[in-house]
Chain A
């Protein structure tokens, strides 16, 4: 996963109902882009059966020392 380009951001924002111009799209790309890059190693690698609901279970699962 790479950072979204300004060209990619504009239609996403349009669909979200909050259209942005080129300048804002460029600024967004530069600002949130590093988070996409930081998450790249995880994106697309998660097993099929993994649900967000497993998080509260992980919260209370005891790990032996």
Chain B
């Protein structure tokens, strides 16, 4: 356990506060100190609420002194992607249109963390309306990667990835519709859990695509993700699409061994045309998993490009439908890239959209058949490490659009199938950029992914490494 409060994991700090080894006020001050140092370099926070956070921390300490413990996150300061509504507090959704939007409801996922005792630290930056894979934002500027501030964080949970990596919050909620948790986790070197469609309520979370949106955490470890999932998961009367499937003991799952687990390595697509350093990290990760007792097998998956295409059609149509009114009334208030993405949905006929939705069941069934007997499939989260902010700016050059499209190549198929996927820090490039692998699981089997991720993190230190404050 680190003695520096800000460098503890979520699990460690929650325990330390509960045991009165450190106060909520101390850890909140420690984070605010780091935020003051890093924010000018990263632009990870949308709002920093120092005064109210310290007050809330003091209240948490006072309650603890009287043995009034709210829950497993008592007094733990956290910040989340600025699209989780918190009644009475501005939620910009990364946009100009909602710059002053004050919701009247609190998202279920956030409320469950509040009920567990979290202290609100502020809000985190994101792509405008969570619709962009790089971390660029026309209105509020790009979020920067703590490992090299010239590089992207990935998006759309850009602030979540950057802030967790720089140890400015112990964990953060993200959302994943096309890769928006897994890409920032990969590019920033943190652990990110995209949950199964229906596992965590979306009520009170800004919608982008009702069929594909998922809520999940970014944190330093699989154990921390398990703690947050355990608090958030489960049916919600406010979200009829939220599943009643039984929950697992996610935290207990992180103590499990890899022995007896079968991990599939795709024979194509996810291993094709990889950046050489991503390919090396994939091989090294597989070797570690094998050494720790996992049975590594090859799997032949159905055509992933078809899944990716269907995913894009569904996302485009649903996002355009949500945004139609503002596309008519306030097109000038969108950033150009986001408006262009939204306009793509205008070209998707209802029949095409519904065909994609009708295919979702058989596509998932085909995937389940292809992976029968396999506990998880391993694949890179993206074929490449983080490109620079400049080279991935769509206005920046003729090759940029293709590059941006390539970033999400390995994430979109998983969104269409609605499967859970855990991205874990798995290595670094020679130039010091993180590389993450995703473990793709069975529907509602986040527990097995957390077992594998935690077992990997017990014998590696990629998740412990710290970026250096830029000079």
Contacts and interface: CB of A to CB of B under 8 A. Distances in A.
B316 interface: yes
A39 B306 contact: yes
Nearest to B343: A28
Interface stretch (B17-25, B110-118, B350-358): B350-358
Main secondary structure of the interface of A (DSSP, over half): helix
Contacts of B355: 39, 42-44, 46
A59 B196 contact: yes
Interface residues of B, number: 46
A61 B344 CA distance: 34
A37 B443 contact: no
Given A12-B346, A28-B344, A39 B196 contact: no
A39 B307 CA distance: 8
A58 B348 contact: no
B306 A38 contact: yes
B346 A58 contact: no
B464 to A, nearest CB: 35
B358 A46 contact: yes
B443 A34 contact: no
Nearest to A27: B340
Nearest to A18: B327
A37 B340 contact: no
A61 B369 CA distance: 11
B332 to A, nearest CB: 14
A19 to B, nearest CB: 9
Contacts of B360: 52, 55, 58
A46 B313 CA distance: 17
Contacts of B359: 42, 46, 50
Interface in A27-63: 27-29, 31-32, 34-39, 41-44, 46, 50-52, 54-61, 63
Contact of B352 (A9, A16, A43, A63): A43
B198 interface: yes
Nearest to B369: A63
A42 B312 contact: no
A50 to B, nearest CB: 5
Given A16-B346, A20-B343, A32 B316 contact: yes
Contact of B364 (A38, A42, A55): A55
Contacts of A59: 196-198, 243, 245, 364, 418, 443-444
9 contacts: A32-B313, A35-B316, A36-B352, A38-B308, A42-B355, A55-B361, A58-B362, A59-B198, A63-B372
Given A24-B343, A35-B309, 11 more contacts: A18-B328, A32-B348, A34-B309, A38-B310, A38-B312, A39-B306, A46-B362, A55-B360, A59-B198, A59-B364, A59-B443
